Amino acid sequence: MFIECSNCKLKYLVNSADLKPNGRMVECANCNHQWFQDLNNTEVFSAVPSSKKENSVDNEKFNKNIEHKNEIVKNLPSTIVRQEKPSVLNSIAAVLLILFIFLGIWISRSFEINTLVLIDFYIKEFFFNLNLIISDLAKIIYNILN
């Protein structure tokens, strides 16, 4: 279940069982704003109302809910959910890097530079040596066990 601080708009991922059937008092870890979070109702009652007109209505609802609660716990186990927007600069840099790689391969082929053949040779040589090492280890382990 996601809950959101009405003050700083930070979102929290909360286990709904932690809110208990009647809800509970919660506190934002970022701005220390306190509010009553009800499990059955998505309406949030703020401990510090923002306007004077809503002050009396919100305080009455808040006080009624507080009276019915046996314990008020501020520390709610939760996970802060931060939504990061993708960076435009990183996206442009990735696209340019891919274009430069393709451009480099195209230029090397047009000038008949065989760098890809050399890279292919080293990769095949690496796997050949790796195969030799693994087969030698297998022979040693076989000789030890028998």
How do the domains of the chain map onto residue ranges? 2-81, 88-145
Comparing 37 with 89, the larger pLDDT belongs to: 89
Three-class DSSP category at 30: coil
Say if residue 18's pLDDT is above 60.
yes
Q: How much of the chain exceeds pLDDT 90, in percent?
A: 28
Q: Tell me the average pLDDT across 17-26.
A: 76
Residue 60 to residue 43: CA distance in whole angstroms: 14
Residue 91 to residue 87: CA distance in whole angstroms: 6
Half-sphere exposure (Cβ direction) of 32: Cα atoms closer than 13 Å? 0
Q: What is the pTM of this model?
A: 0.33
Q: What is the pLDDT of residue 44?
A: 43
Q: Tell me the average pLDDT across 23-28.
A: 81
User: For 90-145, how does the pLDDT look when each residue is reduced to its tens digit (9 = 90+)?
Assistant: 999 999 999 999 998 888 778 877 777 878 899 999 999 999 999 999 999 999 99
